[in-house]
Structure 1
Amino acid sequence: MGWDAQPLVEAADERPLIERRAVVRDGFYELQARVVIERVARTAGIAQRWAVSPYRGCVHACLGCGARGGHRRLGLDAGRDFDSRVVVKPNVVARLRAELARWGGEPLAVGVSGDCYQPAEETYRLMPGVVTALAEAGVPATVYTRSPLVLRDAALLAECGVRVAVSIAFVDERIRRAVEPGAVGAQARLELVASLVEAGVDCRVLMGPVLPLLSDDSDQLAATVRRIGQAGVRSVEPVVLRLPAGTRSWFGAWLGEAHPGLVARYEELYGRDGLPSPAYEERILGQIAQLCRVYGMRCGPGEPEPREPWFGQLALV
């Protein structure tokens, strides 16, 4: 039998899973989600057990982001792919409404798999629909973000009673440039907090992640809490760095290059589950709690109170 008579074998498609399933548009991966309310990983360190995230991946490129491992399930890496290949769920609002129709009312986090106000939101504008759906269902929700873009929706967030938690882990710009290279600086976030409070938004600060041996000394913690208090918020939720799979390898590679003398200490502090030593975490959270009392702020996760379903203002016809 000649070579041209051999049976044809279809070549295997070796592209990453996301590239085989998604539509690539303007540099974003659009993927129709089958489920949008997802369980929050135990290692996340936030109060909510469930979350909805319009985007997966984040151009803020925070080295310690605990969501990095999710990109591996898409056939991408937890490092630079997470920072540059952002997955968009264009049907998130429709799916969220369907799931909320049978939801038990448990509080939800918004933006755990990627900042929900990162630059992709300027293009897709998914958050107004998400906020409205949550308010109409009367489900308590907290939006987690580092981005000033959230101010665009300040009036809606205030009207709907959706809480915003702005992440400000430290006020040292040298650390921020190293570990949060794509995010705005601490001063811009402090100004953002003040603007949200002025706009009537229920706003708090997520003081995390606190970085062991990098941003955890007494002077750094005191400076951060003091400036948060000056921004006008009354509640702080501290979180010590978590290092789940994916995050651990990416953060560890940076740590080994930038601070090789700290690698052994981190190995002592963190177990296989990615959680910090309980003794260390208790000490840091205790210090922050004491500082919060000094500056008249509550310390801890807390949850927004359940609300009656919100129906918005009826249009006059």
Structure 2
Amino acid sequence: MRDDGKARLAALGPLKGRGAASRVTGRFEQRSASREDDGWGSGHDFTDASGEALEPGPATTVTVERARSIISRNQSPDIGFSQSINPYRGCEHGCVYCFARPSHAYLDLSPGLDFETRLYAKTNAVELLRAELARPRYACAPIALGVNTDAYQPLERRERLTRGLLEVLAETRHPVHLITKNALVLRDLDLLAPMAEQGLVQVSLSVTTLDNRLAARMEPRASAPHARLRAIAGLHAAGVPVSVMVAPVIPAITDGELEAILAAAREAGAVDASYVLLRLPHELKEVWREWLAQHYPDRAAHVMSLVAQMRGGRDYDSAFGTRMRGEGPFAQLLAARFAKARRQLGFTRLPTLDCSRFAAPARPVPTPPPSPQGRLF
């Protein structure tokens, strides 16, 4: 069992470079651990004589995962794609508001610090994709890449799984929609630009705030806001259709920046825009409340009150149709502001991805296992 980190949080405050403040217990965990003082002060002794922390923050660890399948499918009526690929589990960006955090509970890990420090790389993702696309019954439909966790998170610089997946998609002329908040996407312009000429790719950049200090606290290892705007400009200059996602919009924290974000993204070259209201499913409620208490204690109650007003009196409502936008007067005002800014700034729609060019790869030839009789000679 691992220390939940709450005693350390109380003594030293949030960890630098991490979004979550502690190891929030996952909903499937049978046991949890906490630090207790033995009466000699050792249970709460986190600093040395000079005041420096005795225990450094948790390091990032990466586990190789041999996945059994790589394309996930959904029929959600409020999601604009039916297929997606996530080459990684967990995300080192550490965005404290990430709706995917609760997925780490399925691994018996914490949706808090474990989600951003204990990562999994699906190292066979490329071969699985090639095999999936080669199946006779495969029906081509746009694939969204990087939905649950960011496909361009820092780990991608070393693993290059997203790069490998894009190479297969480019080779087979398969349409793809990339979703990211990392400027690393510009690394793959040599693939994306030719695909864009064939109507095979779209990119959505998520911009939550234009405030660098807020971004450093809220999404500590994602690209800075100005770097994301440069990425939008770079993609646009290369002819890659790009949109901006103001996601999530956080009441009383970032909602006042909505128009400014849209204007900055439009100036950089974004042709389309969307927004998503803050979502707090499962354990994310506790992760978020801890962050609010540490960084905005003066307005934490107000923020959660506004959230509840838009979520039927609760922290979250997962109903299709309202989970992305919320309901009630505040949500209606937000929708009206977005619609007005979108219209005034001249946003249009991303072009439709072309599925007609798809050419399935050759089916891999299975290699028969070696005959045990060979050991007789």
TM bin, normalised by shorter chain, reads: 0.7 to 0.9
Gaps of 5+ in 1: 1-13, 17-25, 313-317
CA contact (8 A) 1:136 1:311 kept: no
Greater shift, 248-257 or 194-203, is seen at 248-257
Greater shift, 142-151 or 246-255, is seen at 246-255
Cα pair distance change 1:27/1:261, threshold 3 Å: closer
The residue that corresponds to 1:296 in the other structure is: 346
Post-superposition Cα deviations, 1:271-297, rounded to whole Å, max 9, x if no partner, equal 443435323444323321221211111
Post-superposition Cα deviations, 1:296-316, rounded to whole Å, max 9, x if no partner, equal 1126x875343512699xxxx
The residue that corresponds to 2:228 in the other structure is: 189
1:177 and 1:41 mapped to 2: Cα distance? Answer: 35
Higher helix share: 1
The residue that corresponds to 2:183 in the other structure is: 148
The residue that corresponds to 2:65 in the other structure is: 31
2:286 and 2:188 mapped to 1: Cα distance? Answer: 36
TM-score normalised by length of structure 1: 0.81
CA contact (8 A) 2:243 2:270 kept: yes
The alignment status of 1:277 with 2:326, answered yes or no, reads yes
1:241 and 1:76 mapped to 2: Cα distance? Answer: 23
Cα pair distance change 1:124/1:238, threshold 3 Å: same
The residue that corresponds to 1:261 in the other structure is: 301
Question: What displacement does 1:154 show?
Answer: 0.9
Count of paired positions: 286
The alignment status of 1:202 with 2:241, answered yes or no, reads yes
CA contact (8 A) 1:131 1:162 kept: no
Of the three residues 253, 258, 275, the one matched with 1:221 is 258
Post-superposition Cα deviations, 1:193-252, rounded to whole Å, max 9, x if no partner, equal 1011112222221221111221113xx222111111110121112222222223222112
The alignment status of 1:133 with 2:176, answered yes or no, reads no
TM-score normalised by length of structure 2: 0.69
The residue that corresponds to 2:151 in the other structure is: 116
Post-superposition Cα deviations, 1:115-149, rounded to whole Å, max 9, x if no partner, equal 11112111111122211323344443211111121
Q: Secondary structure at the match of 2:255?
A: coil
Question: What displacement does 1:42 show?
Answer: 5.1
- Runs of 4 or more off by more than 6 Å in structure 1? none
Cα pair distance change 1:273/1:134, threshold 3 Å: farther
Gaps of 5+ in 2: 1-29, 33-59, 362-377
Give me the CA root mean square deviation.
2.8
Q: Secondary structure at the match of 1:29?
A: strand
2:132 and 2:331 mapped to 1: Cα distance? Answer: 35
Cα pair distance change 1:277/1:237, threshold 3 Å: closer
Q: Secondary structure at the match of 2:337?
A: helix
CA contact (8 A) 1:238 1:285 kept: no
Cα pair distance change 1:100/1:212, threshold 3 Å: farther
Cα pair distance change 1:285/1:254, threshold 3 Å: same
Q: How does 1:8-19 map to 2 (within 5 A)?
A: none
Match for 2:339: what amino acid?
A: A
